[in-house]
Amino acid sequence: MKTLSIDIETYSDQNLAKCGVYRYVESPVFEILLFSYSADGQPVQLVDLACGEKIPDEVITALEDESVTKWAFNAGFERICLSRHLGYPTGDYLDPESWRCSMIWAATMGLPLSLEGVGAVLGLEKQKLTEGKDLIKYFCQPCAPTKSNGQRTRNLPCHALDKWLAFKKYNIRDVETEMSIQARLAKYPVPESVWDEYHIDQEINDRGVALDMELVRQAIVMDGRSRSELTQAMKELTELENPNSVLQMKLWLADNGLETDTLGKKAVAEMLKTAPPQLQTVLSLRQQLAKSSVKKYQAMETAVCSDGRARGMFQFYGANRTGRWAGRIIQMQNLPQNHPEDLSEARSLVRCGDFEAVELLYEDVPDTLSQLIRTAFVPQGDRKFIVADFSAIEARVIAWLAGEEWRQKVFAEGKDIYCASASQMFGVPVEKHGINGHLRQKGKIAELALGYGGSVGALKAMGALEMGLSEDELPPLVDAWRQSTPMITRLWWAVDRSAMEAVRFKCETETHGITFSCRSGMLFITLPSGRRLAYVKPKIGTNKFGGDCITYEGVGGTKKWERLDSYGPKFVENIVQATARDILCYAIKTLRCCSIVMHIHDEVVIEADRRMSLQAVCDQMGRTPP
């Protein structure tokens, strides 16, 4: 046997979407119900485990045999479930090295991350069966006890034989669909280097990160108490039945002379500046209640495994335009920052449940809990965390790609890019906390907002007005930035021309070390690393201003598969972020032998022996990819 394509159906009383597969399989009632497989492309075989059948010995052997390649769609799920089925303890799983994932293959081609979605886009003859959702709900999850079902809490095959037969067909069809995807994508194989990155990703997900569960539990209790006290105070001040209701709150504010369309974070912060004292009190209570980051503590409690570690937090190729990771379950990609000087003091007060002291010393309890989220991740035993990140990675990548030499010099000399940018824009020296220091903020906002063709709207979205810039200052700021960085502006339009030419004439073009090629209904952009970005069914279309642009199919803002449009600066954003991702990947590969437990955009967190040197890790991360 050379290859094995697999799909399974399982039962557990845990909510898979909320807790992730690692916790899901720890349930005492977890079991695999159906196991469908195809060895070496032969017709699919089904093993009905729920009705007492056994997986053949040669298949069991193949699961642990490194020379047999195992395929599945979202293969991590099958691998972890089968590890449990084979009796592996928590923290020990089948080695990912010989596993391949057809979902990752689809993602590298810019396709959706669902089997149903991929089948539909590729127009496969054998599509995933749509009745699957109902059957999964019926057999794979507990059911509510009712009079008509005899108060049972679980549906077994004997309770609906017709449904069980349909479920078996559904399971077989999933393997057939996965094999069809592989056949369809055969001419675009995933490079071995990307499979290697996937295997490292699976190792990091398997390793997980330890949580301080005492802190987590106390934070949840404290948040509950704080919420009920804040809500009570709001009720007394407003006499509203539900002060959390946006509609009720808007009406109450209007009755008290303050009209507003939205109660978003930015809008409330603006209103707080000018509102009369009584309304200020209500708005600031509203702001405290709106802190949703405390939900991360609940996610931790739901996802933690029996050994105190949370696993499966990273989705490889989660962003299929760039190949960057996406966060899952606890969502590590947007952890709140923490600023208090006395962080450890605040932490120990929360950890021992001293609500009164936290309220007295820090006033805003939800905000304090939010700032402590990062501290819930802890090294186990006598180890320590080493955290290293790339500084201003996107700004460096774009300067390098565009050949903007003055910027590269700023980075090479270890200077502040925001000061240097402001200095270029306004033609005067700018130093942080020094001469013309007030201009640094303008340099910073321009740097963050304008690198990818953004204009006045991008400055506003980045909070330019909240930072004290006036409406009139914004257009000159855009002009000043673009004039001071001519090479980057040139890069946008060179990329625009090259991509257009490739799509229009179905040929290969090249600019700034980036190659564009259009064939078999795909636009490929080959990055300096050699990895390719893929855009499905590209065409020349018309943008909202009536000009030519490239349109392609992809998952849009509505999470639906639709036709999207793009142009030079947007492609540059994809290219820069994808290159930054490749640099992080290279660093993760060089640090593979260290225990990486987390990585966030441009940052790596290692659970290390106390003797390990931070400098050695930084030196490794600073190695330039070939």
Structure tokens at 585: 């990947």
Q: What pLDDT does residue 543 have? A: 85
Instruction: Please give the sequence-ordered ranges of beta strands (E in DSSP) within 547-588, or none if there are none.
Output: 548-555, 561-566
Architecture of domain 3-207: 2-Layer Sandwich (3.30)
Q: What is the DSSP string of 10-22?
A: EE-SS-HHHHHHH
Taking the C-alpha atoms of residue 355 and residue 363, their distance in angstroms, rounded to an integer, is 11
**Structure tokens belonging to residue 29:** 């009632």
The model's confidence at residue 592, banded by pLDDT at 50, 70 and 90, is: very high
Residue with tokens 């008290």: 256
pLDDT tens profile 308-323:
999 999 999 999 899 9
> Starting at the edge strand that comes first in sequence, how are the strands of the sheet with 384-389 ordered?
384-389, 603-608, 596-600
- Tell me the percentage of the chain whose pLDDT exceeds 90: 75
Q: Where are the domains of the chain?
A: 3-207, 211-334, 383-391+502-626, 405-484
**Residue 602 reports pLDDT greater than 80:** yes
Taking residues 84-103, report their average pLDDT: 97
β pairing state of 508-511 and 384-389 = unpaired
Tens digits of per-residue pLDDT, 107-163? 999 999 999 999 999 988 887 777 889 999 999 999 999 999 999 999 999 999 999
Tracing tokens 């940052």 back to the chain, one arrives at: 603
Alpha-carbon distance of 347 to 555, in angstroms, equals 41
> Given pLDDT bands bounded at 50, 70 and 90, which one contains residue 339?
confident
254-290 tens-digit pLDDT: 888 888 888 888 888 888 888 888 888 888 888 888 8
Per-residue pLDDT tens digits for 376-423: 999 999 999 999 999 889 999 999 999 999 999 999 999 999 899 989
Task: Check: CB of residue 84 under 8 Å from CB of residue 25.
Answer: yes
SS3 135: helix
Of the candidates 575, 519, 561, the one whose C-alpha atom is nearest the C-alpha of residue 106 is 561
> d(Cα 615, Cα 333) in Å, to the nearest integer?
25
Q: What is the pTM of this model?
A: 0.93
**Which helix (H) or strand (E) segment is 211 a member of?**
strand 209-211
pLDDT tens string 529-581: 999 999 999 999 998 888 899 999 999 888 889 999 999 999 999 999 999 99
Predicted confidence at residue 342, as pLDDT, reads 87
What is the b/e burial string over 378-397, where b = at least 16 CB atoms within 10 angstroms of the residue's CB?
Answer: ebeeebeebebbbebbbbbb
Dihedral sign for Cα 63, 66, 68, 72, please. Answer: positive
Which pLDDT does position 610 carry in this prediction?
95
In the predicted model, what is the mean pLDDT of residues 583-591? Answer: 96
Structure tokens at 374: 């990062």
Cβ–Cβ under 8 Å, residues 119 and 128: yes
Greater confidence, 551 or 470?
551
pLDDT in the model for residue 465 = 84
Mean pLDDT rounded to a whole number for the chain: 93
Instruction: Quote the DSSP letter at residue 247.
Output: H
For 208-220, the pLDDT digits (tens) are 999 999 999 999 9
Place of tokens 């507990």: 142
pLDDT (tens digit per residue) in 223-248? 999 989 988 988 888 988 888 888 88
36-80 pLDDT, tens per residue? 999 999 999 999 999 999 999 999 999 999 999 999 999 999 999
Which element (helix H / strand E) includes 33? strand 31-39
Residue % of the chain over a pLDDT of 70: 100
Can you tell me the distance from the alpha carbon of 415 to that of 417, in angstroms, rounded to the nearest whole number?
6
Q: What is the pLDDT of residue 293?
A: 65
Fold (CATH) for 211-334: Taq DNA Polymerase; Chain T, domain 4 (1.20.1060)
